[in-house]
Structure 1
């Protein structure tokens, strides 16, 4: 699965930029509040507007201080997958239950330096695991290869039946890094500048999918 990140899109032409990634599996939307991360992007009104102009399922990544209050509102707005950060959530189990009750998938994200092991039991309440392969906050950063050990650990837990999460990765994904991430066990790849910096974003989405499928070893 390929999820283009509109963080790298032209915000003045969002409807056109969304249309340019036809064939994408999800559309990744980074919500930042300038508190949890040192950047301010978009919020619920823009997400609601995006829902009106695309059939691509929205994948909202909430990099915000108070996901306990805000996460369910994105689910109620029709977002397909709502991801919160374990480092910010006060009651992540309740968040997951509220998101599912509102009709969304529940996602949990971990920063590059956050270990996976303390949160394995918590992940049983979630549908997706988002492994950050850059420090959250800004697009266009270089991929941190060390996080792939975390991906491999998650893949083993999924393959053994201990977890049922979809494994997603975000940060520095491009034609040079996607195969390594696929080999490690990623299911869904967030790509921003690699897609929106290309002459033909839709063609790049298809190419990234081919590279990931060829390297994955899984159907």
Structure 2
């Protein structure tokens, strides 16, 4: 079953609690939360206090994507704030194996994200130990970007590794996904779809999530 993970980076920050409750009622499977530090990516977004404050509005899985330097330093804080999945970037961590095992020891699921130009082979040996791989299909830092076409091949590569080493692996794709291309993204092997603009545009969240599912 395909899971839809709306990115609240595209939500109305002035009424974030209401937006979260809306996602819960409108058919979202996870809540994707992009944490940016202004260093690893050229933008700043949510921190621990925000995540802690919105946790009470839903029981949906909090899929927390750490686009930050030295993510292991902050992982426990995000878990305590309510994260259910912690995603760290291959490019941001010098000791990724250690960080993966540390996050698992905190009792949550762990994922590794790959920027568009990063080779899938870089995480080949970690695949059996991961709960999810996040393939960035745009350069991270901002919403509303266009899907980078060569990332379709990366999705297929991760799916092949999943079939060999970890059949339970979730394959998440984030960036530029709409009702027009979600079908091919899923066909290539993705089973968790992050969508920001495609979910929140025009304020028709329920209909937009429905259209995404219909596009599969």
Same fold (TM over 0.5): yes
Taking a change above 3 Å as real, the CA distance of residues 52 and 209 of structure 1, as seen in their structure-2 partners, is same
Deviates further, 94-103 or 4-13: 94-103
- In the other structure, the counterpart of 2:9 is 7
Task: Answer yes or no: is 1:191 the counterpart of 2:200.
Answer: no
Choose which of 157, 160, 181 in structure 1 pairs with 2:161.
157
> Which residue in the other structure is 1:20 paired with?
22
* Structure 1: gaps spanning 5 or more residues: 213-219
Aligned length: 212
What does 1:119-138 align with in structure 2 at a 5 Å threshold? 119-138=123-142
| 2:107 paired residue number | 103
Query: What is the distance in 2 between the residues matched to 1:99 and 1:154?
Result: 21
Deviates further, 68-77 or 32-41: 68-77
| Structure 1 residues 44-193: aligned runs within 5 Å | 44-161=48-165, 164-193=168-197
Q: What runs of 5+ residues in structure 2 fail to find an aligned partner?
A: none
CA distance in 1, matches of 2:64, 2:138: 17
8 Å Cα contact 2:127/2:161 also seen in 1: no
Q: Which moved more, 1:158-167 or 1:174-183?
A: 158-167
TM-score, structure 2 length as denominator? 0.93
Equivalences for residues 25-40 of structure 1 within 5 A: 25-40=29-44
Map Cα deviations across residues 58-113 of structure 1 (whole Å, 9 max, x no partner).
10100001202012321232211110000001222222222222221101000000
The 4+ residue runs of structure 1 with deviation greater than 4 A are none
Question: SS where residue 122 of structure 1 aligns?
Answer: helix
Report the CA distance between 1:166 and its aligned residue.
0.8
Matched, 1:202 2:206: yes
Contact 1:72/1:98, CA 8 A, preserved across alignment: no
Contact 1:3 1:188 (C-alpha < 8 Å) held by counterparts:
yes
Please state how far the C-alpha of 1:164 moved relative to its aligned partner: 4.1
Q: For residues 126-178 of structure 1, give each alpha carbon's deviation from its aligned partner in whole angstroms, at most 9, with x where no partner exists.
A: 11000000000000000111101010011112123456421000000111121
Q: Which residue in the other structure is 1:215 paired with?
A: none
- Listed one character per residue, the Cα deviations across residues 28-62 of structure 1 (whole Å, up to 9, x for unaligned) are 00000000000011111101111111111110100
